[in-house]
Chain A
Amino acid sequence: MSAHTKGSGGDGMKWVGRSIRRVEDPALLRGRGRFTGDLPATHWVRFVRSPNAAGKIKSISAPDGAVVITAADIKGVKKITPMLHKFEYRPVGQPILADGEVRFVGEAVVAVVAATEEEAEDIADLVEIDIEDAEALVDSRVAIAAGARQIHAEAPGNVILKGEVKSPGFDAVWASAAKIVKIDARSNRQNATPMEPRAAHAAYDAASGRVTLHCTTQMPHLMRTAIADCLGMPESDLRVIAPDVGGGFGQKMSLCTEYVLVTWLARHLKSSVGWTEDRRENLIASFHSRDQYVTLEGAFDKDAKLLALRADVLSNVGAYSCFPTTSGVEPLMAMAEMPGPYDFQHYQCLARGALTNTCTMAAYRGVSRPVITFTLERLMDKAAKAFAIDPVDIRRKNLITTFPYKSAMGLEYDEASYRETMEMAVEAINLPAFRARQQLARERGEYLGIGFATFSERTGYGSPAFAARGMAITPGWETVHVTVDPSGYVEARIGSSPHGQGLRTTLAQIIADEIGVPPDMIKIVHGDTETAPYGWGTFASRSLVISGGATLIASRKIRAKLLKIAEHMLEAAETDIVLADGKAKVAGTDREVSIAAMAREAYTQTHRFKGEIEPGLSESGTYDPPGTFSNACHVAIVRLDPETGHVKLERYLVAEDAGRIINPMIADGQVHGGVVQGIGNALLEEIIYDESGAILTANLADYMPPTAHEVPPIELHHMETPSTQSVTKAKGLGEGGTIGPPAAIVNAINDAMAPFDVEIDTIPATPQRIRALLRNAERAP
């Protein structure tokens, strides 16, 4: 269900705002998608991975005649060494194959090459790696404790970065507080679990000496830059193609060592080489996320108004630093955005990244914000309890209501609807009726709970925002080339790299409105460094805002040129010409010319323009915006079985504001998918290491994404506050759905457990954890 209430429509637009069907779907639904793993290859790779979390490699043995590659064979290949120029960052390098030492279970040590995947796996089974076991440091608190074994020589104390902020006058405000409320939150480790695991296919062309790498990635251009750097080859000798990509969620925006090695092998063997990881490899050796301890304290005045926040964020970044974001991606995101949607001006934060003998941390949909929103929203509920007021009321007192607003971190929040979306959600869920039902249920020994999460989400931010992190690779802008070809059809080449977001549909809607041709005459070309302009790909809720903005800018140039051509061909003043329905018309007359005819003229009859109009009909737009804040209120209603600790989600509601909505159906789909992943974060999904650093959850029976049974109907309500920081007025919404559920659901669980006077501040809130609290609680069954 969608309710569009604020500022939608009314401006004469035709395609934007409509739920047209996704042009991406027919091929995918009919099995005609083309994925990396579908490509035939002459050679296949199987990686032999470290069974140990830490230790020196003493020897490697392989069966006679097997083609095996080890670190000794690739001496000239550079390590992946991401760089930050701030926050006491210690650059650490990751060898493409473990070189003398292993640092996590699953680290690639040997690459076996054979004619088929099956044969490669058979040979890999016979490879033996002898490792002199060293103590595994798994937990971040243990890794940074005094005297802990150092994982990288470059990072003393295993701290890879440290960010600190403290607003002027903080101490005095803190001392003035009527109440300090504190939470020690724990977020356990998760895996993004894309349906398609990682895969790469590199083919060497003997004629040109070039390599074409197909890989499942969110950023093909940066993969080319990074891999060419590692291999010391000209970028122009490498073509990177992201064909259909079966989900990325951030896991596929980081460079993985395997892609470098597959490219190296294609050059080395002068042949084609394929690799598709299996689910176990994806679970143990791709990238993990969300492994954080967050201690958060809020200082409130006597009226429950928040005055200041003090945070300590410790992020377990694993064994290496991810490229391009670096392992600052989680702790620095947490530091910057912890203040959330609340009005206060004093903030202190210490954010650190701890190196451990675990799989490397990288971005996962929401990046830290599911964790910080969980922490902050739990804090607000604890504060409500401390002041004996309703959780909704404490938010009413504290949400930002005037814009633009400058946060304690100095971020500028554009116009949003924090308060309005919450009120919309409160009304839709019918809070008084729920409280009555909850009371009756308790009398029957049934435990229902309701939880709210309100949050802001910075989306669509360009290079200035990324530059604040001091990254050696500072992403941000996007370029789009729009061309009307001589047949009047339109092609837009984009640097973004959509992989399920429906961008081919939504960008076509934007172009259609601007130049007056229907979306089915518009093709969006992406994912190939040979045909798409350099761009940063698709991540960070950015593509519709930034690539969409660049598309609009380029389309406006096309529009301006079409009007000039029409003026010339119709011999009318530009101001009298209307572009619509594939035609230019002179208002109030029957004189018209089709866009196809104008396009043909632009290429083939340019002599008629007498030098006043440049030949061709192709324009470029680049956009690098400051960023815009989306917002939402999520509400969960749960039924808790106190005897087993089981939590059943009865209802889930989202009131979302992502500015102008280009395609409501696609927007709803983004929120639905995000909420489902958020439910996994809240209740089910957890990567568990034992003390030796071995993973106990290396398959999808032990690592538990939600299934259809665990997901209730998700009820959506939209508000539209058009963004002033985005040329399309749209805000990003790719990640928002994922951010709210841990907070809303765990708040609801705590509401359900209120009669027992115990609280859970750990995600996922598993039945075992809930039961452990209730077992020792008075009055609990």
Chain B
Amino acid sequence: MKPAPFVRHVPRTLDEALKILTDVAGEDGRVLAGGQSLVPIMAFRLAKPAHLVDINEVEGLDKIADDGKTLTIGARVRHAAFHQPVTANPLGALLSYVARHIAHYPIRMRGTFCGSLAHADPSSEWCLTSATLGAVMVAKSVKGTRDIKAAEFFDGIMSTNLKEDELLAEMRLPLLPADAKFGFYEFSRRAGDFAMAASLVTYRLDGGKIVDARVGLGGAEASPRRIPEAEAELNGKAPSDAAFRAAGEAASAAIEPLEDHQTDAAYRRDLVKVVVRRALEHSLT
């Protein structure tokens, strides 16, 4: 459980960090932010990066900004920053509720929002949040800046479309409508474990009917995504047990379930049905 040899670089500015990333791109250079996922997999020698570009000393990466339309989250913003709402917009309450489900307190003090996205674990709460709410990832390199939509960012289990010389410098989440409702539910065997299925939902009510439904699902497939079949069961209907159940059933039927030793396909579908419905039920509380 000792990592393979590596060189640690500690840039002080973003330009310096991007320069180093470019220099080491061909030699499996990796960005080190909170290290809560990368360091354990290095200890297991499942990853053996020759270079680590440690961004913990880089100025300006720890900012959270709300410009009235968008919430921008810097590369080094820790999970714990969201323990209290970061904005009065309903998005603040949503992120605060979701954050409490991420691992354990000491991990939340160190791990970062953008690090979770770059790591792209299928069960990550922030990946689910980004996919559900239509986040935009801002990738920077010495060549320039590239905006990547969440739907195009995730590329399977622990894989993204970030290039080797790119840093996920920040991510942008659209603020929610003032009357937006949200609900979240995740299932794991022990508190703080990786979610075996998780769902985040948002919608508005217009004349008592659901509009703009977003049903996101994480932990169930290779990448988190919105499930249009479930959203179709909700839009235009009043919130009801029947509608919520139908959405859960639709999501359960729509997925290509991940399988592992504690979750076969049938069980994953069971869980998806439940987490979607319970996320919707949570939206009413």
Contact = CB atoms under 8 A, between A and B. Distances in A.
Interface stretch (A238-246, A373-381, A466-474, A697-705): A697-705
B1 A279 contact: yes
A772 B265 CA distance: 11
B59 interface: no
B121 to A, nearest CB: 11
Contact of B274 (A644, A690, A706): A644
B144 interface: no
B189 A766 contact: yes
Report, as a range, how many residues of chain B touch the other chain.
20 to 34
Contacts of A704: 189-190, 193
B33 to A, nearest CB: 20
Interface string B190-201: 111110000000
Interface in A664-723: 684, 688, 690, 696-697, 699, 701-702, 704, 706-707, 709-710
Nearest to B263: A768
B45 interface: yes
Given A122-B5, A697-B261, A702-B261, A644 B190 contact: no
A768 B260 CA distance: 11
A118 B193 CA distance: 29
A118 B2 contact: yes
B270 interface: yes
Nearest to B187: A644
Interface string B165-195: 0000000000000000000000101111110
Contact of B190 (A280, A645, A710, A768): A710
B194 A688 contact: no
B2 A644 contact: no
B2 A117 contact: yes
B266 A696 contact: no
A643 interface: yes
A556 interface: no
Interface core residue of B1, B187, B192, B264 (most chain A CB under 10 Å): B1
A767 interface: yes
A775 interface: yes
Contacts of A690: 261
B261 A696 contact: yes
A766 to B, nearest CB: 7
Contact of B266 (A117, A646, A775): A775
Chain A interface category by residue count: 20 to 34
A759 interface: no
A709 B191 contact: yes
B262 interface: yes
A343 B116 CA distance: 59
Given A704-B193, A766-B262, A125 B267 contact: no
A597 B44 CA distance: 61
Contacts of B273: 643
A576 interface: no
A166 interface: no
A117 to B, nearest CB: 6
Nearest to B262: A768
B271 interface: yes
Contact of A125 (B4, B192, B271): B4
Contacts of A772: 266-267
Nearest to B45: A125
A18 interface: no
Contacts of B191: 707, 709-710
A179 interface: no
B192 A646 contact: no
A772 B270 CA distance: 10
Contacts of A278: 1
Contacts of B260: 696
Contacts of B262: 702, 766, 768
A701 B192 contact: no
Nearest to A702: B261
Nearest to B197: A644
Contacts of B4: 122, 125
B189 A646 contact: yes
B189 A688 contact: no
Given A121-B2, A280-B1, A688-B261, A706 B189 contact: no
Given A707-B191, A707-B192, A775 B270 contact: yes
Of A117, A643, A645, A704, most buried by chain B (CB within 10 Å of CB) is A643
A644 B219 CA distance: 15
B274 A643 contact: yes
Contact of A771 (B45, B193, B261, B267): B267
Given A684-B189, A699-B44, A772-B266, 4 more contacts: A279-B1, A645-B270, A707-B191, A772-B267
Interface of B: 1-2, 4-5, 44-45, 187, 189-194, 260-264, 266-267, 270-271, 273-274
7 contacts: A122-B2, A645-B267, A646-B187, A701-B194, A704-B193, A768-B262, A775-B266
Closest 7 CB pairs of A and B: A709-B191, A278-B1, A118-B2, A696-B261, A643-B274, A121-B2, A768-B267
